[in-house]
Structure 1
Amino acid sequence: MRSDNSEVHQSALDTLLTTAGLRGERTIRAGFAGAATPGNGRRTVFDCQNGRLLPSAVVARSEDGPASTDDAVNRAFNGLGTTHDFYHEVFNRDSIDDRGMRLDGYVHFSVQYNNAFWDGQQMVFGDGDGKVFTDFTGSLDVIAHELTHGVTENTAGLAYHDQPGALNESASDVFGSLVKQWSLKQSAEEADWLIGPDVFTPGIEADALRSMKAPGQAYDNALFGKDPQPDHMSRFVHLPNSERGDNGGVHINSGIPNKAFYLTAAGIGGFAWEAAGAIWYEALKASSAETQFQDFANTTYHKAEDLYGADSTEKAAVLAAWHEVGIQISGVPTGIARVRSRAAHRNGSTGSADGLAALSKQIGVLTTQVTGLAKDVAALKGKK
């Protein structure tokens, strides 16, 4: 349902159109040789003073300088630093490009600009229009989401269309949420799993931009309509690879891998950036430009085994999570995934040590039985 407030609706429409163009610019700028400037992850925040030309912005805070009197400058500076520290401390990654890329942020971009974005070289923040959106420097998970686009560009290089593009957006949501959880020291159970809960003004009835725990339920209001994200492959949204089609639904279908990550983290329990985050990070590094959902699911499953073992709780959690969103891991009998998923439901996916240990044992027994049957069949064939 469209908003009756034409001014607000037009503002939202203008932002969508502008952002679509900036996404294309981000791809071009990221492709320039030498685009990333080495600098030991040093931060500099510039003030655009409501202009749109970044070279005209003035330095507002540097790594060695004092805090600013402008809260937006300080929030941007701190958000860049927290995201940098997360990647360094959790994954031993040296800034966005893993080569010490400096982190430049630009605040007060344009007038009443309703977004924040990574353009391939730097982070840019709008102030919001005060009617729909607030200052985007106030949302750490949005800052980390955008910076993670830079990490993806420098690892998998996931193409920005269809399933690879949805994985690109999902990776940014996953690590954007993990940065927030890490900064707050929240467990998977304590986290809100919302992306951008701080960006809407109090007058907008919306929990957040997206919900990883419950895709499709982040908002339902007159301005934006109902959250269109699916949480299962049976509800995958087929859209054209165009601006109007959200490049094949990259922001919509990302709900499916988002839900898979949430389920994995909830199934393992504890801090999500540890086991679940490590699995997704290794899978991202092992992916390529045209990786599809099925490919990525398979990779997370194998990375879980590489990191934690063939009979691990972590591997079982990954298997059950993808099964829950309608993706069967290649080469794994459907029955095993189904049993793991049902067992997880019986235990509430709480990640309790006793429950998950029992589940892992059950999976191990089933796997042994399947292996034994395969050997028997091979033996019978050999006797013919």
Structure 2
Amino acid sequence: MTSTPQTRPTVRCGIVPPYLLEHLGYGDTLLLDDRIRARRRDRRGDGAAPLTGAWTVHDAGNGTDLPGRPVRSAGEPGSGDAAVDEAAAGITGALALFREVYDRDSYDGRGAPVSLTVHYGRDYANAFWDGTQLVFGDGDGEVFARFTKAADVLAHELAHAVTERTAGLVYQGQPGALNESVSDVFAACSEQRLLGQQAAEADWLIGAELFLPGVRARALRDMAAPGTAYDDPRLGTDPQPAHLDDYVETTDDNGGVHINSGIPNRAFQLAAVAVGGSSWAGAGRIWYDALTGGDVRPDTDFAGFAAATVAAAGDSAAAVEEAWRQVGVRPVAGSSAPATGGAAPGGPLRTVRVRRSGGFVGRTVEAEVDLGGADERAATLAGLVDRIDPQAARPAGSPMPDHFTYEFDLDGRQVRVPEQDLTDDLRAVADLVLRPDGPTEA
């Protein structure tokens, strides 16, 4: 008997991060995005008949009614409309990647037809998957060109649909950054496959064709060097971090999903080059197997996803693990983000850090011990860290008045505990790290 896919709530996943639209002053685009989400929720149960064919491109005529007028389907000749034909070429390549390399028939694995809409809105500078179809604007004519120009943008949005129907990574915090990164991963794989490039020779840029002449931007994101894609008076400077030490804590953009995706993006690029050959058949196959293998859950964090890729890597496990270590992520099987959807930045690899704050005086002290160094406490601390389960150590209680609050970074795993809920092992770690000759006042 064929099982019915589990229905998950969908968040519209636009290619341009909200912080960039806000920086450019595109309030109309953000407002329109909100209207799209509300309207799509209203239309979920409209019972419309499915489209026929592998894919159909629609023309919204610069309006906002979806899907618009059908203008080209799979197997039909070019239309002469650049956006329509670019969308057709891009979706053909993306679907071929999943079908021919990963044996996946469309985004749902069951041959679902793909609906695309071009010429959406006026001066609409974005592209997104809304849970039903792919939608592309023509750009603002000042910074952004039409969003169908970049074939990797088509693949990025289709990959959001694949993630929704597989691991279902929630669009918040670290799982949300992974959601964005997975889309960039398969976007890069698709474009490099279309160009016939090996991983070592590719430029690893996402959305390189999106910007108009005169804009100081190489791309929207650079997977090989996050934080370097653009530096322009209108855009600002690319804020993506390339290492977990620089993880951006923010309440914007669902916890910084577009910003912090730079960390797993860099891990994939390093893994793809280390594994060798093509990105799609090498590291891309590993990432796909991890995404669909059952070990990645909706709340999986960076460490948990890293562990899933290492487990799926076979003979390339050492290369994949090293790639994650280079961006500061230690693979931990089953690791999940906090229930709030937030994500805490990790400390330096193989380091234990303790921060104690609060108390009657309100003094904060912190210290760290390098487990790989010559410190006499390292061996004892390593043993303690290996047997502490951060999930089990998280208490249900709240801090008490005038009690201390302890924050532990246990080799990349974070625990925040009120003093009254310290376990014996956590208290031992705190005593060792914060001994009188160790801590410094913050």
Q: In which range does the TM-score fall when normalised by the shorter chain?
A: 0.7 to 0.9
- The corresponding residue for 2:312 is 303
- The corresponding residue for 2:327 is 325
Q: Specify which structure has the bigger relative contact order, considering alpha-carbon pairs within 8 angstroms and separated by 6 or more residues.
A: 1
Count residues in correspondence: 313
3-state SS of paired residue (2:72):
strand
After superposition, the Cα gap between the structure-2 partners of 1:183 and 1:34, relative to the gap in structure 1 and judged at 3 Å, is farther
3-state SS of paired residue (1:179):
helix
| 2: CA distance, partners of 1:315 / 1:282 | 13
| 2: CA distance, partners of 1:133 / 1:194 | 16
Counterpart pick for 2:115 among 104, 129, 132: 104
| 2: CA distance, partners of 1:31 / 1:279 | 33
| 1: CA distance, partners of 2:250 / 2:49 | 33
Kindly state the Cα deviation for residue 323 of structure 1 after the two structures are TM-superposed: 0.6
- The corresponding residue for 2:250 is 239
After superposition, the Cα gap between the structure-2 partners of 1:8 and 1:128, relative to the gap in structure 1 and judged at 3 Å, is farther
- The corresponding residue for 2:282 is 275
Residue pairs, 1:1-384, within 5 angstroms: 12-19=26-33, 22=36, 28=41, 37=50, 39=52, 42-55=54-67, 57-240=68-251, 245-285=252-292, 286=294, 287-304=296-313, 308=314, 312=315, 314-330=316-332
Cα shift readout 1:25-58 (whole Å, capped 9, x = no counterpart): 77x589869899475x612111111110115x21
Cα shift readout 1:250-269 (whole Å, capped 9, x = no counterpart): 00110110010001011112
3-state SS of paired residue (1:44):
strand
| 2: CA distance, partners of 1:319 / 1:9 | 36
- The corresponding residue for 1:366 is none
After superposition, the Cα gap between the structure-2 partners of 1:86 and 1:324, relative to the gap in structure 1 and judged at 3 Å, is same
Q: Report if aligned partners of 1:68, 1:74 keep a CA contact under 8 Å in 2.
A: yes
- The corresponding residue for 2:344 is none
After superposition, the Cα gap between the structure-2 partners of 1:264 and 1:25, relative to the gap in structure 1 and judged at 3 Å, is farther
Kindly state the Cα deviation for residue 104 of structure 1 after the two structures are TM-superposed: 1.3
After superposition, the Cα gap between the structure-2 partners of 1:203 and 1:36, relative to the gap in structure 1 and judged at 3 Å, is farther
| 2: CA distance, partners of 1:36 / 1:280 | 34
**Which residue identity is paired with 2:312?**
K
Larger Rg: 1 or 2? 2
Percent identical pairs in the alignment equals: 50
- What RMSD in Å do the two structures reach over aligned CA positions? 2.5
| 2: CA distance, partners of 1:157 / 1:262 | 23
Cα shift readout 1:107-164 (whole Å, capped 9, x = no counterpart): 1111111011111111111111111100111100111001100000000001010011
After superposition, the Cα gap between the structure-2 partners of 1:113 and 1:279, relative to the gap in structure 1 and judged at 3 Å, is same
Kindly state the Cα deviation for residue 185 of structure 1 after the two structures are TM-superposed: 1.0
Q: Report if aligned partners of 1:30, 1:121 keep a CA contact under 8 Å in 2.
A: no
Cα shift readout 1:83-116 (whole Å, capped 9, x = no counterpart): 1111100000000111111011111111111011
After superposition, the Cα gap between the structure-2 partners of 1:8 and 1:203, relative to the gap in structure 1 and judged at 3 Å, is farther
| 2: CA distance, partners of 1:22 / 1:198 | 25
Kindly state the Cα deviation for residue 60 of structure 1 after the two structures are TM-superposed: 1.1
| 1: CA distance, partners of 2:243 / 2:146 | 33
- The TM-score normalised by the length of structure 2 is 0.66
After superposition, the Cα gap between the structure-2 partners of 1:233 and 1:192, relative to the gap in structure 1 and judged at 3 Å, is same
Kindly state the Cα deviation for residue 278 of structure 1 after the two structures are TM-superposed: 0.9
Q: Report if aligned partners of 2:139, 2:146 keep a CA contact under 8 Å in 1.
A: yes
- The corresponding residue for 1:3 is none
Cα shift readout 1:288-333 (whole Å, capped 9, x = no counterpart): 11111111011111111xxx3xxx2x111111111101112349xx
| Runs of 4+ with >6 A deviation | 23-26, 29-36
After superposition, the Cα gap between the structure-2 partners of 1:90 and 1:123, relative to the gap in structure 1 and judged at 3 Å, is same
| 2: CA distance, partners of 1:164 / 1:29 | 26
Q: Report if aligned partners of 2:305, 2:331 keep a CA contact under 8 Å in 1.
A: no
Kindly state the Cα deviation for residue 9 of structure 1 after the two structures are TM-superposed: 6.2
| 2: CA distance, partners of 1:323 / 1:293 | 11
After superposition, the Cα gap between the structure-2 partners of 1:25 and 1:226, relative to the gap in structure 1 and judged at 3 Å, is farther
After superposition, the Cα gap between the structure-2 partners of 1:237 and 1:34, relative to the gap in structure 1 and judged at 3 Å, is farther
Q: Report if aligned partners of 1:15, 1:114 keep a CA contact under 8 Å in 2.
A: yes
3-state SS of paired residue (1:251):
helix
Cα shift readout 1:147-194 (whole Å, capped 9, x = no counterpart): 100000000001010011000000000001100001111001111101
Q: Report if aligned partners of 2:271, 2:323 keep a CA contact under 8 Å in 1.
A: yes
**Which residue identity is paired with 2:212?**
T
Q: Report if aligned partners of 1:29, 1:35 keep a CA contact under 8 Å in 2.
A: no
**Which residue identity is paired with 1:252?**
I
| 2: CA distance, partners of 1:263 / 1:63 | 36
- The corresponding residue for 1:334 is none
| 1: CA distance, partners of 2:43 / 2:303 | 27
After superposition, the Cα gap between the structure-2 partners of 1:25 and 1:269, relative to the gap in structure 1 and judged at 3 Å, is farther
| 2: CA distance, partners of 1:300 / 1:29 | 37
| 2: CA distance, partners of 1:146 / 1:97 | 14
